[in-house]
Structure 1
Amino acid sequence: MSPLHLLQFFLCSVCIHMFSIFTYLVYYYDLFTSSHEAQEKYDFIIVGSGTAGSLIADRLLKETNYTFIVLEAGGKGHPFHDIPAFGPLLHRSVFDWHYETVPQENACFAMENSKCKQTQGKILGGSSKLNNMIHVRGNVSHYVDWFHGKYTKEYIEEHFNYIESNIYPLRNIQYDSQLSDAVLDAAKQLGFNELNHQNSLGFQKSLLTQNQGKRWTTSDNFDTSKYVLTNALVEKLIIKNNKCLGVQINYPKKVKLFAEKAVIISAGTFNSPKLLQLSGIGPAELLKSLNISVVKELPVGKNLQDHVGTGLDLVLFDTSQSVGMFDMMNFFNLYKYFVNGVGPLTTPGCEVVGFVSTKNETIPNIQFMVLPVGITADRGSHLRKSLGIADFVWDNYFSKLFEKYTTTFFPLILHPKSIGEVKIKSQDPNLPPLIDPKYLSHPEDLKTLVDGIKMLTKLLETDAMKTIGAHLNKNHFPGCEEYDLFSDLYLECYVKHLTLSSYHPIGTCSMGTDASQSVVDLTFAVFGIDNLYVVDGSVLPTLPSGNINAAIAMMANIFIENTINQFNLKTNQHMCSRNISFEELFLNVCPVR
């Protein structure tokens, strides 16, 4: 490493360590000063404060008089953690669950022990505090299929319209590099249109969940200090006679809380199945092997899917693309962010998203995420560690790129055929679950990603990309030296080594109509257990065609609207047991019998 690169590494490391120290101070200050007292009983208990849990809480608060509590295992965070450019610094921090896969047989070879990291937010706001803030509806017809025709396409679009008007402040990306315009021009030269709700193929600049340059999550919509209990790990559900009565939490001692109407689990694709399995709901063989009494046998933890991709620092430039690590640390840019909410600190990391079909079909099978800053931008001080890149790979591939400007055109498989699972490994709620996504176990997934890289090469061959000097990284990837560069065999080897999760896991508590294949029904109720619901990414039976946050918000909105109507109706029916006036009956306070 040259003296200049050593200096860059030193400066990046100092800034990142200062941020880490600040993050630890925020976490432990919240941990030791939190004084929120929980009641023993509520109408609703919500487990998890991520996109779904916070949206449900927000609507309960603003539209009903029901009592509720949101239980969050992580801490509150700080406004500095809402600076979009700082999002990657929370990966592998105290606000991350630090999950990783088991060693993969067909993927992740470039990672330490062939394990891919699985970043998940352990913070008020959940994983939406760590993501790229990208809002994509995806293909609405897929959601109609999820509900088996219960809801029409128009009904689902109405819920998207609601969250886009009332839940999220959506903003176009307001600071980007010259790369984003070049990519859009290149896409046009290849015949792609700009994305909109009517066409499913094309490219666009990222639409973000931001407000005045600040990251915005559903937890920002209500006063969380009164309704959220942070640092409260839910250890198990209290179930009696096939009815969920409440939860047992560790805060900081074991406490039992009870719910009159429902317990809603919104703990995420890894922690929701973990909690169900700890409580005796899941595969009987697994539960019995851990000496856990079987309350209800369901395929909890099965059907794990993820948008898996590749392409890290695969595209190089000889000149800067205007957004770099040191641009973000510029004091003038800090001033612009804190005073006016503008500048490079508002960057989502991903400037452009694109959806293409490598099969010449009308429905995409690949999503591109274009990131103008590569993993080598911080000279190895943080980003490589957050992904778990092995030392040998770093030293023999990535560290050779310091003289170049690196970017990542990240192709993702939208609908992988490789299916994995999540399962607990003991009765200890403090231990992480075993996560085995079985990446690239289906050969078609490998071919699709190879085709995605080939599509990328076509993009780079356009005049728009040649004008800004874009070219492929021609260094052989470690472990793939025996193959001709960019041949099919080389690309297959490359993909198997440099396998990357987009942190879009879904499916482990799938929704459906058959309890032998699903965990929750079309109302999100857990099969065979009264008063228990799961509402988060884990219920999605298949992956949406795009980033999952918008789809989760839409699903949560459907759930809470129907739940409010359901319990209001029950309240009105209860009123009908008394004598009512003709005027009340005429006003339809109670249904006619």
Structure 2
Amino acid sequence: MSPVYIFQFFILFIGVNSFTLLIYMIYYGQLFSSICCDTFEKQYDYIIVGSGTAGSVIAHRLATETNYTFIVLEAGGKGIPLFDIPVLGPLLHGSIYDWRFETVPQENACLAMNNKKCRLPQGKIIGGSSKLNNMIHVRGNTSQYVDWFQAKYGKDFIEQQFQFVEDNILHLNEIKYESEFASAIIEAAIELGYNTIDEFDKGFRKSKVSQNNGKRWSTSDKLDISKHVLTNAFVEKVNIKNNIAYSVNVLISDKKYKINARKGVILAAGTYNTPKILQLSGIGPRDVLEPLNIHIIQDLPVGLNLQDHIATGLDLILFDKTLAVNPMNMLNPFHIFEYFVNGRGPLTTPGCEAIGFLSTGGDDTPDLQFMVMPVGISADRGTHLKTSLGINQTIWDNYFAQSFDKHAATILPIVLHPKSKGKVYINRTGPKTPPCIDPNYLSNLDDVKTLIDGIKLVIKFANTSPMKALGAHVNSIHFPGCEEYLIFSDEYWECYVRHLTLTSYHPVGTCSMGHSASDSVVDTSFRVFGVERLFVADASVLPTLPSGNINAAIAMMASLFFETTIKSTGVGLTSSISLVCKKTDFLNDYVQRICLNEKVSR
């Protein structure tokens, strides 16, 4: 390694580890403060589990449009405004604000990762994964969402929910700073005959991001955290009696409590944690629960139908010169000043400067998304991104580290609707034991073919005149483990994608919505089949993946849940036995608690 790279590594190492130390100081300082100062009631009208995009939208609308009492239980911490600097988002991956999930060893994918396990970052912080993502706002194919709800709601109504969230909860902006790569990609798309687009369609556009004055903006930023959110509150299970959900067990500062819900428990803990909580509560597949001696309340396909946007192609595009977005630029005092004073500059970069949607089948429906990223993982010289992705050392040394003399960038092809499906399941009853996550990546050969077609399109882009003008070329280093194949042949690319398999952090489907309890977990009103007053309203209910980044679709879905299940009915219960009482009606409340034979402890 040359002296220049050693110096860069040293500077970045100090920066990354100083930030990591700061993260721990902030987290434990806030944890100590919450132990001393946080208070909560014994019961509320609604309990929301999880403060991610969905939970925060529901909480915001409950707070502003109803007089219901509610509490949001968040297992993670609060974070600080410093974390909202967009360029720092990747540094939260693998931190104490990340659940640090990973897959079980994969047979057909993740071969370049340690132990054949892909890392699965998920936010453990107020705001959830929207505090770790690329902030890209994509509505996707809105016609698809009509199918999610079995045509119960029309396209116009669904688009109204998008509009409500965009106008009242999110802040959306065009990107504030971009490298030369962004414009070159748009020009290259035009040269290849593709359109520039505004919303979901075949073609390319520069990214629209969820930012406010250059800083990351999440749906949780609209919440009164001190009033409605309890942090470091780890929900263990939902308590159910007579097929009615009435409370949750929650661990707060190593003490167990039960908090009652008069009208409903709303699970919004995410695609991995929500099925785990349901299974621990006795709702899930019989073959998962019986071996663990968990009393089965409802035999439902909880944890099945896991889908994720899979991608590949990190550091596949190399440039002979450094682009305007690079790690050393982030340390420039002028750019730091520009961010804090004007909300502009490279610190506002979302990591993805442009997106595109293309079809490999020749029809009008895109099956690939492309994310244009001006830096690769080799840019930080191995100080953080290698570890957060779990790249094994041999792959790093023999592939990524060999490009230090170039500027690496990525056009990431993403399979929009993969046919490979997996599952999430518990194998122990300990609430703090992570769930087993088996996405079964690339088990369907159609997904492999789509990714290979995507790589071929990336190569076409690299060979356009706008890209050549920047000195772009395809990384010709043979990927370790694929040396037996002719480089750039279909056999080589299949080996490549099976090694360098990447998640886009878009898991859905593990508590799928539908008409029947035989193949679904919730109905089209988000009610868990067979259990009153228990709802799921997060990415886990989506029966299929949206056509693009999922944050916007999740926010829409959460708004629709509130509009149709809470606001329109006024109650969260459809039962012939009325256990719902007005919060001012002490007698009914007292009778309800006696009926459920539950003592609420604190």
Q: Please, what TM-score do these two structures have when normalized by structure 2?
A: 0.94
| Deviates further, 563-572 or 344-353 | 563-572
Cα shift at 1:561: 1.2
The runs of at least 4 aligned residues of structure 1 exceeding 2 Å deviation read: 563-575
Q: Which residue is 2:112 aligned to?
A: 110
Question: What do residues 474-516 of structure 1 show as CA deviations (whole Å, max 9, x unaligned)?
Answer: 0000000111110000000000000000110000000000111
Return the alpha-carbon distance in structure 1 between the equivalents of residues 231 and 409 of structure 2.
37
Q: Which amino acid aligns with 1:361?
A: D
Residue 570 of structure 2 aligns to a residue whose secondary structure is helix
| Deviates further, 456-465 or 111-120 | 456-465
Q: Which residue is 1:32 aligned to?
A: 32
Cα shift at 1:196: 2.5
Q: Which residue is 1:60 aligned to?
A: 62
| Residue 18 of structure 2 is aligned to residue 18 of structure 1 | yes
Q: Which amino acid aligns with 1:245?
A: Y
Return the alpha-carbon distance in structure 1 between the equivalents of residues 235 and 157 of structure 2.
34
| Residue 225 of structure 2 is aligned to residue 224 of structure 1 | yes
Q: Which residue is 1:533 aligned to?
A: 535
Structure 1 residues 323-362: aligned runs within 5 Å:
323-362=325-364
Cα shift at 1:566: 3.6
Structure 1 residues 276-295: aligned runs within 5 Å:
276-295=278-297
Q: Which amino acid aligns with 2:6?
A: L
Q: CA RMSD in A?
A: 1.5
Q: Which amino acid aligns with 2:282?
A: G
Checking the alignment, whether the CA contact within 8 Å between 2:533 and 2:572 is kept in structure 1 is: no
Residue 5 of structure 1 aligns to a residue whose secondary structure is helix
| Residue 411 of structure 2 is aligned to residue 387 of structure 1 | no
Return the alpha-carbon distance in structure 1 between the equivalents of residues 507 and 313 of structure 2.
19
Partner residue of 2:444 out of 442, 445, 459: 442
Q: Which amino acid aligns with 2:468?
A: K
Q: Which residue is 1:470 aligned to?
A: 472
Partner residue of 2:425 out of 401, 423, 427: 423
State, as a whole percentage, how many aligned pairs show the same letter.
58
Cα shift at 1:194: 1.5
Return the alpha-carbon distance in structure 1 between the equivalents of residues 151 and 506 of structure 2.
25
- Stretches of structure 2 that go unaligned for 5 or more consecutive residues are 574-580, 585-602
Return the alpha-carbon distance in structure 2 between the equivalents of residues 534 and 407 of structure 1.
39
Question: What do residues 271-312 of structure 1 show as CA deviations (whole Å, max 9, x unaligned)?
Answer: 000000010000011101111110110000000000000000
Return the alpha-carbon distance in structure 2 between the equivalents of residues 185 and 265 of structure 1.
45
Structure 1 residues 156-235: aligned runs within 5 Å:
156-197=158-199, 200-235=201-236
Q: Which residue is 2:576 aligned to?
A: none
Q: Which amino acid aligns with 2:313?
A: G
Q: Which amino acid aligns with 2:553?
A: A
Q: Do the aligned partners of residues 485 and 569 (structure 1) sit closer, same or farther apart at CA in structure 2, a change above 3 Å counting?
A: closer
Return the alpha-carbon distance in structure 1 between the equivalents of residues 334 and 149 of structure 2.
50
Cα shift at 1:570: 9.0
Cα shift at 1:574: 13
Question: What do residues 325-354 of structure 1 show as CA deviations (whole Å, max 9, x unaligned)?
Answer: 011111111111111111111000000110
Q: Please, what TM-score do these two structures have when normalized by structure 1?
A: 0.95
Return the alpha-carbon distance in structure 2 between the equivalents of residues 338 and 566 of structure 1.
43
Question: What do residues 146-170 of structure 1 show as CA deviations (whole Å, max 9, x unaligned)?
Answer: 1111011111111111111111110
Return the alpha-carbon distance in structure 2 between the equivalents of residues 514 and 93 of structure 1.
39
Q: Which amino acid aligns with 1:251?
A: I
Return the alpha-carbon distance in structure 1 between the equivalents of residues 583 and 59 of structure 2.
25
Question: What do residues 184-210 of structure 1 show as CA deviations (whole Å, max 9, x unaligned)?
Answer: 00001111111224x511111110000
Return the alpha-carbon distance in structure 2 between the equivalents of residues 238 and 566 of structure 1.
26
Q: Which amino acid aligns with 2:557?
A: M
Return the alpha-carbon distance in structure 1 between the equivalents of residues 220 and 295 of structure 2.
35
Q: Which residue is 1:588 aligned to?
A: none
Return the alpha-carbon distance in structure 2 between the equivalents of residues 569 and 480 of structure 1.
59
Cα shift at 1:573: 12
Return the alpha-carbon distance in structure 2 between the equivalents of residues 391 and 569 of structure 1.
55
Checking the alignment, whether the CA contact within 8 Å between 2:309 and 2:507 is kept in structure 1 is: yes
Q: Which residue is 2:299 aligned to?
A: 297
Cα shift at 1:222: 2.0
Residue 334 of structure 1 aligns to a residue whose secondary structure is helix
Q: Which residue is 1:579 aligned to?
A: none
Return the alpha-carbon distance in structure 2 between the equivalents of residues 511 and 194 of structure 1.
34
Checking the alignment, whether the CA contact within 8 Å between 2:565 and 2:572 is kept in structure 1 is: no
| Deviates further, 15-24 or 28-37 | 28-37
| Residue 246 of structure 2 is aligned to residue 238 of structure 1 | no
Q: Which amino acid aligns with 1:33?
A: S
Checking the alignment, whether the CA contact within 8 Å between 2:140 and 2:547 is kept in structure 1 is: yes
Q: Which residue is 1:591 aligned to?
A: none
Partner residue of 2:516 out of 514, 517, 532: 514
Partner residue of 2:144 out of 136, 142, 145: 142
Residue 565 of structure 2 aligns to a residue whose secondary structure is helix
Cα shift at 1:542: 0.3
Question: What do residues 392-419 of structure 1 show as CA deviations (whole Å, max 9, x unaligned)?
Answer: 0001111101000000111000000000
| Deviates further, 218-227 or 498-507 | 218-227
Q: Which amino acid aligns with 2:130?
A: S
Return the alpha-carbon distance in structure 2 between the equivalents of residues 6 and 345 of structure 1.
24
